[in-house]
């Protein structure tokens, strides 16, 4: 008797909120369009697809003819649509109310635009926590896909993972499909006949209705290195589809149909985890290196397949404790979610909800081979939503001009000083520096930069392991997980680690010929006023005062003894143009250079930073001439394109020699401009 296996084939299409238009265009022409057009030629090949809501909106607006083709495939029963959170949040790190709102928002959108309401959902980055079950069930989602690795970590044997299982939480049921890692690594990287042959090998044993479950990023079909030529020009996708359709052992099914026809394989409770590579990326550098060594030792000894369930690594929320900048964004988002939720229902407009959901988009919160924490334009998109939402919430329900809270749960209070134009957030950690400077008209945070810290992939750079990549298959291409390449030349200086978070107005005092000493003992004065913050350094008797006046942040330093010290303050400014051609310095009417170059001025009293991308400018003024050194601040990141240097901010160092400041220095930052559109 011939036994068949049901191929449950799904792909996930996503672009981060705020990604560059040219990146989206390239992704569409190299991946989304050819994939849809290829599959359209084979109506009998059933598959599932998930589009994140922001990408779907963009495709519907820009390429309605391709989306009409997809809608036709839905109508003829070829395509099953999968849901998720609308802006692709990690559901486990947003409140229950927003989980339900996000999932229902995308389900409504799919029903409205493509004619089908989803029964299943894609879990962002396959991040599983049992706490997401109630929200998914309450959003009319019956099943989700997670990795088979999740099940192995729960003690399930690999041979049992050819169907779906059931879990529950707080009285709600959810069914779980285990995605095959063996298929993820074969499709589309091994030769098409080999992938089909592997699928056929799963149909050997009689028994329950067996499924081969694949659900992975569609970007592997055209965007990853070499894949466009491999998948479309060399015909891999067509060969694979035809091979599956011709096989008497294989049939393509929808998840929803299989879910109705087959019985659950039983109850399961999964641990908090994600896919195995993510569990390495979440760890700090030293621990990630130790984990990678442990995995490699297990592979070398031939034990990895048996032991990988017990080599768990970290979990996704580690990114929030590992990167203070990610944690701060997250806690700001939660702060505004609570304020939005407290509004009367009639005031919860679609625009406010859209900004809240965009602030929850996952990409800017994490970093690994993928993830966008290191990408300023993706963090900027999150902050655009945060600042815009806060501006509108303040208009509807004004808050005090000065508030204190330990928002990021680090044991240090932050002071929020704001008016209806600007907001300065000062961390009272002894440095009394500005960690966030928001311009409401520009919907921009000038404090949105990233410190340099150790990363586990620095070891690969230092060892120059570019020749150590390998292919798993005799005929095929290298997956991005195994590829080691260099987009830029990386030097040891590029890997230097910051000993303090990047901020505005980080101060040092110094004597001629001596190393500068950071001021880390500022204590808040009790005389905080509605428009000013005051700090005093007992050791040097230095008084520091912040004030907001309209569109101007002023900082004044007062020395309460004879000026024996030189003063240097460092101002890190996130400028949207970074090292592109649209950002420039203007000094005394001239343009000495762009933000990507170094600039030194011996006696500066005014400097303009003009940014076309931002649509505005900053005017820096000093009451006494300062020596200015401006440099671009770069970090080293990794992506599927290779190791690369990314400009995060401009770093301005302003210095006054002993005696030159005459016991008082005043600095101001004036914000000019308004975002259009």
Show which residues are catalytic.
125, 217
DSSP 229: I
The token pair that represents 442 in the structure block: 């520009």
Handedness of CA 33, 38, 44, 46 (dihedral sign): negative
The distance in angstroms from the start CA to the end CA of the chain is 65
- Residue 138, C-beta contacts closer than 8 angstroms, at least 6 positions apart: 100, 172
d(CA 665, CA 558): 7
DSSP 233: I
208-223 burial by CB neighbour count: b if 16+ within 10 A, else e? eebbbbbbbbbbbbbb
Query: Residue 464: which region, alpha, beta or left (left: phi > 0; alpha: psi -120 to 50)?
Result: left
- Could you tell me the CA-to-CA distances from 279 to 236, 297, 478 in Å, in that order? 31, 17, 21
The pair phi, psi for residue 425, each rounded to 5°, is: -110, 120
Residues 30/228, Cβ–Cβ less than 8 Å: yes
- Residue 225, C-beta contacts closer than 8 angstroms, at least 6 positions apart: 477, 478, 480, 483, 640, 641
d(CA 359, CA 350): 14
- Could you tell me the CA-to-CA distances from 325 to 162, 373, 432, 656 in Å, in that order? 41, 9, 17, 30
The token pair that represents 127 in the structure block: 């991040």
Handedness of CA 240, 246, 250, 254 (dihedral sign): positive
């Amino acid at each position: 008797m011939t036994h068949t296996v049901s191929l449950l084939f799904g792909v996930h299409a996503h672009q981060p909120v705020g990604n560059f238009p040219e990146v989206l265009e390239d992704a569409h022409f190299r991946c989304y369009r050819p994939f849809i057009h290829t599959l359209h030629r084979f109506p009998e090949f059933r598959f599932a697809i998930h589009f994140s809501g922001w990408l779907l909106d963009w495709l519907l607006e820009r390429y309605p003819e391709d989306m009409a083709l997809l809608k036709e495939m839905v109508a003829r029963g070829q395509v099953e649509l999968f849901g998720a959170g609308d802006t692709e949040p990690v559901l486990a790190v947003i409140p229950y109310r927003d989980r339900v709102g996000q999932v229902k928002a995308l389900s409504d959108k799919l029903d409205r635009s493509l004619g089908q309401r989803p029964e299943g959902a894609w879990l962002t980055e396959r991040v599983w926590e049992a706490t997401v079950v109630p929200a998914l069930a309450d959003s009319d989602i019956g099943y989700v896909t997670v990795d088979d690795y999740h099940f192995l970590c729960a003690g399930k044997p690999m041979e049992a993972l050819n169907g779906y299982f059931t879990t529950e939480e707080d009285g709600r049921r959810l069914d779980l499909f285990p995605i095959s890692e063996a298929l993820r690594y074969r499709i589309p990287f091994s030769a098409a006949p080999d992938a089909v042959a592997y699928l056929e090998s799963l149909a050997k044993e009689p028994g329950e209705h067996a499924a081969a479950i694949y659900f992975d990023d569609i970007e592997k079909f055209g965007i990853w290195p070499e894949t466009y030529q491999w998948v479309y020009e060399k015909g891999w996708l067509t060969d694979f589809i035809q091979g599956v359709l011709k096989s008497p052992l294989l049939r393509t099914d929808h998840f929803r149909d299989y879910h109705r026809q087959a019985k659950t394989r039983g109850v399961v409770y999964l641990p908090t985890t994600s896919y195995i590579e993510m569990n390495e990326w979440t760890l700090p550098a030293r621990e990630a290196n130790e984990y990678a060594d442990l995995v490699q030792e297990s592979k070398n000894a031939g034990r990895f397949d048996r032991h990988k369930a017990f080599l768990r690594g970290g979990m996704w929320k580690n990114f929030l404790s590992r990167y203070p900048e990610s944690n701060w964004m997250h806690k700001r988002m939660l702060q505004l979610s609570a304020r939005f939720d407290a509004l009367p229902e009639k005031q919860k407009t679609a625009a406010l909800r859209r900004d809240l959901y965009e602030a929850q988009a996952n990409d800017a919160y994490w970093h690994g081979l993928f993830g966008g924490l290191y990408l300023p334009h993706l963090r900027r998109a999150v902050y655009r939503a945060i600042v815009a939402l806060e501006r509108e919430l303040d208009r509807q329900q004004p808050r005090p001009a000065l508030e204190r809270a330990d928002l990021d749960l680090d044991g240090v209070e932050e002071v929020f000083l704001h008016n209806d134009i600007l907001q300065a957030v000062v961390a009272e950690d002894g440095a009394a520096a500005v960690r966030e400077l928001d311009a409401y008209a520009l919907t921009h945070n000038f404090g949105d930069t990233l410190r340099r810290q150790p990363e586990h992939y620095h070891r690969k750079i230092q060892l120059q392991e570019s020749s150590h990549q390998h292919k798993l298959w005799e005929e095929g291409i290298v997956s991005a997980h195994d590829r080691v390449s260099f987009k830029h030349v990386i030097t040891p200086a590029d890997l230097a680690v910051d000993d303090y978070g990047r901020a505005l107005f980080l101060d040092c005092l110094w004597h001629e010929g001596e190393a500068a000493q950071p001021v880390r003992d500022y204590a808040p004065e009790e005389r905080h006023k509605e428009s000013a913050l005051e700090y005093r350094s007992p050791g040097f008797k230095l008084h520091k005062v912040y004030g907001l006046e309209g569109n101007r942040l002023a900082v004044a330093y007062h020395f309460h003894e004879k000026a024996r010290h030189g003063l240097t303050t460092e101002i890190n400014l996130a400028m949207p143009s970074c090292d592109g051609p649209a950002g420039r310095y203007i000094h005394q009417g001239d343009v000495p250079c762009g933000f990507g170059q170094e600039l030194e001025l011996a006696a500066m009293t005014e400097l303009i930073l003009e940014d076309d991308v931002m649509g505005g400018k900053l005017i820096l003024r000093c009451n006494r001439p300062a020596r200015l050194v401006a440099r671009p601040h770069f970090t080293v990141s990794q992506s599927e394109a290779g190791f690369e240097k990314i400009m995060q901010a401009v770093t301005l160092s302003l210095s006054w020699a002993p005696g030159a400041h005459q016991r008082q220095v005043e600095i101001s930052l004036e914000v000019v401009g308004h975002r259009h559109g």
